């Protein structure tokens, strides 16, 4: 009889002899622990780079932590006072609502444009596919601050090419028109910049998924009379559902914590009190205002919000796959 550790054999003389372990059992044990061993270095790095700062941030959110504490003064615990101050501040709710609306606009715009570009890349020949890929890579590789400065020049009040083109196309006077003074037009410009940097990632990811959709299924659907939209909705999207979920989650996380584009545009000409998003508001409260405890509380609230959104999308995706 074979056990999990030893094989025993009964001899005619009645004695029992221990046999060496089964090689197959040993291999199965090693195969079970190999993924865990391979994940240990990555988990250690994540714990050091992300986990420990998060723990410090969480502790700081319960402390009175100002500029004096930065230079070594004691940081007394104040319980939930920082959270009560944040949740009772109307400005925080205004910033949160503004950030959510800005995030929704960016995610929808980036997903629609990125998916359209991926579908077009899947239909053009190799030359145009390479040309579009190079253009997307150049846009993706440009640093966010550099891209914001360039777009800021294009929307410049006196010398911007956008005002010149708008005046030439519409025939209306756009001389010295400021796009960044009005909060609505400010976020229109910010949406263009953020979307311009996000479309390449969406397009490349969706395009990689499109290569896995069977051509035979699409051709059969086309022969049955299914249009382009029907083929995408009934065939392509179900195949790429998990990819869309992951991309949407990443876009939500990135757009909720966007900082560079908003901060740079405010420096060019935006009104801080009416255009700050969560990332900028945390910076203004902690580093700019010297209240690191309150800034930590806002950051923790933002982390909880992003985790909740991620868990919701993942659970919904898993539930749909099980049905």
| CA distance linking residue 227 with residue 11, whole number of Å | 75
Which residues are paired to 7 by β-bridges? 2, 19
| CA distance linking residue 158 with residue 178, whole number of Å | 9
pLDDT in tens, 272-318: 888 999 989 999 888 888 888 988 999 999 888 888 887 887 777 77
Q: What's the chain's length in residues?
A: 323
| CA distance linking residue 244 with residue 241, whole number of Å | 5
Any idea where the domains of the chain sit in the sequence?
104-143+181-322
pLDDT band at 188 (very low <50, low <70, confident <90, very high): very high
Element (H, E) at 8: strand 7-10
Give the list of residues 6+ apart from residue 257 with CB closer than 8 angstroms, or none.
Answer: 278, 279, 302, 306
Cβ atoms of residues 302 and 103 within 8 Å: no
In this model, does residue 25 exceed pLDDT 70? no
Nearest alpha-carbon partner for 75 in 56, 89, 88: 56
Token look-up 């294009």 returns 154
In this model, does residue 244 exceed pLDDT 70? yes
pLDDT band at 97 (very low <50, low <70, confident <90, very high): very high
In this model, does residue 174 exceed pLDDT 90? no
- Tell me whether residue 226 is exposed, middle or buried, using C-beta atoms within 10 angstroms of its C-beta: 0 to 12, 13 to 18, 19 or more: middle
Q: What Å distances lie between residue 60 and 29, 87, 108, 308, CA to CA?
A: 43, 17, 35, 22
Q: What Å distances lie between residue 83 and 59, 60, 78, 89, 253, CA to CA?
A: 12, 11, 10, 10, 22
pLDDT band at 102 (very low <50, low <70, confident <90, very high): very high
Cβ atoms of residues 139 and 199 within 8 Å: yes
pLDDT at 321: 66
pLDDT at 4: 42
pLDDT in tens, 34-86: 778 888 888 889 888 888 888 888 888 898 888 888 787 888 888 889 999 99
In this model, does residue 16 exceed pLDDT 80? no
What are residue 18's phi and psi, to 5 degrees?
A: -80, 130
| CA distance linking residue 188 with residue 101, whole number of Å | 12
Return the percentage of the chain with pLDDT > 70, whole number. Answer: 89
Cβ atoms of residues 201 and 107 within 8 Å: no
pLDDT band at 17 (very low <50, low <70, confident <90, very high): low
| CA distance linking residue 109 with residue 71, whole number of Å | 44
pLDDT band at 96 (very low <50, low <70, confident <90, very high): very high
Global confidence as pTM: 0.80
CATH of 104-143+181-322, one of 3.10.310.70, 1.10.3720.10, 2.30.130.10, 3.40.50.150: 1.10.3720.10
What does the block give as tokens for 170?
A: 């519409």
């Amino acid at each position: 009889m074979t056990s999990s550790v030893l094989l025993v054999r009964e001899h005619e003389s009645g004695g029992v002899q221990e046999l060496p372990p089964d090689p197959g059992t040993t291999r199965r044990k090693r195969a079970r622990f190999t993924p865990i061993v391979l994940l240990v270095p990555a988990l250690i790095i994540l714990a050091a780079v992300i986990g420990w700062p998060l723990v410090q941030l969480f502790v700081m959110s319960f402390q009175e932590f100002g500029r004096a504490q930065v230079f070594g003064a004691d940081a007394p615990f104040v319980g939930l006072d920082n959270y009560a101050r944040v949740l009772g501040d109307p400005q925080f709710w205004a910033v949160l609502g503004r950030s959510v609306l800005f995030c929704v606009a960016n995610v929808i715009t980036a997903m629609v444009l990125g998916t359209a570009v991926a579908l077009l890349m899947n239909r053009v020949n190799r030359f145009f596919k390479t040309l579009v890929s190079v253009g997307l890579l150049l846009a993706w590789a440009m640093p966010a601050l550099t891209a914001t400065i360039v777009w800021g020049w294009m929307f410049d009040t006196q010398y911007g090419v956008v005002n010149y083109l708008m005046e030439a196309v519409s025939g209306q006077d756009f001389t010295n028109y400021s796009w960044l003074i009005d909060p609505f037009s400010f976020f229109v410009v910010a949406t263009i910049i953020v979307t311009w940097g996000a479309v390449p990632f969406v397009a490349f990811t969706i395009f990689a998924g499109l290569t896995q959709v069977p051509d035979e299924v699409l051709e059969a659907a086309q022969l049955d009379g299914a249009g382009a939209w029907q083929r995408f909705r009934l065939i392509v999207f179900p195949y790429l559902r998990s990819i869309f979920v992951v991309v949407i989650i990443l876009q939500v996380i990135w757009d909720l914590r966007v900082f560079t584009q908003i901060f740079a545009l405010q420096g060019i000409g935006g009104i801080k009190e009416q255009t700050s998003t969560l990332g900028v508001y945390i910076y203004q409260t902690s580093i700019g205002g010297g209240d690191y405890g309150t800034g930590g509380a806002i950051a923790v609230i933002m982390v909880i919000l992003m985790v909740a959104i991620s868990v919701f999308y993942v659970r919904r995706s898993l539930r749909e796959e099980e049905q």
